[in-house]
Amino acid sequence: MSTHAPHAPNGPGLARSVTLPATLDEAVAALAAIPAAVPVAGGTDLMASVNAGQLRPAALVGLGHISEIRGWEYLDGHGLLGAGLTHARMGRPDFAALFPALAAAARAAGPPQIRNAGTLGGNVVTAAPTGDTLPVLAALEAVLVIAGPGGARREVPIGHLLAGMDMLRPGEILGHLRVPLLHAPQAFLKATGRTGPSRAVASAAVVLDPARRGVRCAIGAVAPMPLRPLEAEQWVASLIDWSVVTQRGASALAPEALDAFGQYVAMACIPDPPPAEDGAAAPVLPPAALQLRRTVAALARRGLGRALA
Ligand SMILES: Cc1cc2nc3c(=O)[nH]c(=O)nc-3n(C[C@H](O)[C@H](O)[C@H](O)COP(=O)(O)OP(=O)(O)OC[C@H]3O[C@@H](n4cnc5c(N)ncnc54)[C@H](O)[C@@H]3O)c2cc1C
C-alpha cells in the first residue's frame, strides 16, 4: 500500500490524508485503520459534495490504483465487472458487444470529462435517482460483490442495495458487479430536459432474456430507485415469438402492442392518485406528472421496439 504523506489542508473541505492502496483488501484495511476515511474513485460525485460544503472527509482512500477492479472478466455465464470501470471504458465497442444497454447508459452519463473519471461503482454507491447505469443494472438483476475486513466477500442483489434493505456497511468496498451475459438485444434510452449531456428526467432499460423467455424493464429517475413494472414485463413477454430471438434481434411486435406496453409501464410507474373516499371528485395528476408519464410511455415503447428491431 502506498500512503501519501498527509497533505496540509488548503481549504475547509479537503482531507488531511490520502491513501492509495493497490488491492481491494488493502483498501479495506486502510478504511479499518482510519474509520473516518471515505473511499474515492473518480471523485465526480464526491468532489461535488465537498464543493457544496455537504461533506468534509477527514481522510480519503483512493481506489484508482486498484487494477483488479478496473477491468472485467467472464465467469460462469456472467461478466464480473470491476467497480472501477469508467463510463468511458464501458462505452467502448468491445464492452458494448456484451453489455449493450450498460454501454449505452455509460455513454449517456454526463460530458466526456465526467465519463473519463466517473466509475460504475461510484454511480452505484451514490445511488442517485438519475444514475444512468442503475435502471440497466436493475433490469439485468446484477449482483454486487462487496469486499469486507479479513478478505470477506458478500453478494447483494442490486435491488436490495438501492431499496436500502442491504446497504454497504462501514469499512466495506464495492469490488465487482456480477452481470448476466444474456446474448440478446438490450436498449437504454434517456430523456433529459435540454439538449447536450445532462441528468435524466426519465430513463428506460429494456433487456430480453431468451433463456427465461422474459422481458425485463426498469424505469429510472422518476422515483428514488429504478422501478420494475413486473406485470407489464410478463404481459409483453407472452406476445414475443421467442423461437426467433437472437443476439442480433427478434421478430417485431405490432405498433399497437408496443404502444400498449409503453402505456402499461407508464401507468405502473406513475399511477393515478387513489380515488377520494368521501365521494368527492377523483383527484387528477398534475400536468407535470402527466407529461412525465407520457415520457415514460414513449421511452418504454421505443426501448422495446429498439430491442426487438
Ligand atoms: C457535471 C456532472 C455531470 C454528471 N452527469 C451524470 C449523468 O448524466 N448521469 C449519471 O449517472 N451521473 C452523472 N454524474 C454523476 C457521477 O459522474 C456518476 O455518479 C459517477 O459514476 C460517480 O463515479 P465516481 O467514480 O466519480 O464516484 P466518486 O465521486 O469517487 O464516489 C461517489 C461515492 O461513492 C463512493 N464510492 C465510490 N466507489 C466506491 C466503491 N468501489 N466502494 C465503495 N464506495 C465507493 C464514494 O465514497 C462516494 O460516496 C455527473 C456528475 C457531474 C459532476
Residues 140 and 194 in one domain: no
Summarised one tens digit per residue, pLDDT across range 165-175 is: 999 999 999 99
| Range 95-123 burial, b when 16+ CB lie within 10 A, else e | bbebbbbbbbbbbbbbeeebbebbbbbbb
In this structure, are 190 and 302 located in the same domain? yes
107 C-beta closer than 6 A to ligand 1: no
* Domain coverage including residue 52: 2-62
Q: What was the pLDDT predicted at 4?
A: 38
**Residue to substitute in 126, 130, 176, 199 for testing ligand 1 pocket (most ligand atoms within 8 angstroms of CB):** 126
User: What total of structural domains would you count in the chain?
Assistant: 3
Mean pLDDT of the chain: 92
What percentage of the chain has pLDDT greater than the value 70?
A: 94
Taking 60 as the threshold, does the pLDDT of residue 126 lie above it?
yes
Whether residues 121 and 18 fall in one domain: no
| Whether residue 223 is found in the same domain as residue 129 | no
What pLDDT is stored for residue 8 in this prediction?
38
Cβ proximity of 105 and 132 under 8 Å:
yes
Whether ligand 1 lies within 6 angstroms of the CB of 64 is answered as no
Q: How confident is the model at residue 19 (pLDDT cuts 50, 70, 90)?
A: very high
Distance 272 CA to ligand 1 centre (A): 33
Residues 90, 154, single domain; the answer is yes
SS3 259: helix
CATH of the domain at 54: 3.30.43
The predicted structure's pLDDT at residue 236: 97
Instruction: Note the pLDDT tens digit of each residue in 208-217.
Output: 999 999 999 9
Indicate whether 2 pLDDT > 70: no
Give the CA count within 13 Å in the CB-facing half-sphere of 111.
3
pLDDT of residue 9: 42
**Residues facing residue 74 across a β-bridge:** 79
3-state secondary structure of 206: strand
Q: Is the CB of 114 under 6 A from ligand 1?
A: yes
% of the chain beyond a pLDDT of 90 = 82
* Lowest mean pLDDT across 2-16, 32-46, 205-219, 256-270: 2-16
Residue 176: closest CA among 42, 24, 45, 46:
24
**Looking at the structure, do residues 78 and 175 belong to the same domain, yes or no?**
yes
Please give the number of the atom of ligand 1 that sits closest to the Cα of 38.
47
CATH number at residue 85: 3.30.465.10
Is 41 a pocket residue for ligand 1 (Cβ < 6 Å)?
A: yes
pLDDT-derived band of residue 275, with 50, 70 and 90 as boundaries?
confident
Q: Is 43 in the pocket of ligand 1 (CB under 6 A)?
A: yes
Cβ–ligand 1 distance for 48 under 6 Å, the answer: yes
The answer on 294 and 201 residing in a single domain is yes
CA pair distance 304, 309, nearest whole angstrom: 8
Q: Hey, whose CA ends up nearest to atom 32 of ligand 1?
A: 122
Q: Are residues 192 and 304 in the same domain?
A: yes
Q: CA angle, corner 251, sides to 245 and 256, nearest 5?
A: 130
Which ligand 1 atom sits nearest the alpha carbon of residue 174?
Answer: 42
pTM given for the model: 0.94
pLDDT tens per residue across span 135-154: 999 999 999 999 999 999 99
The pLDDT value given to residue 249: 66
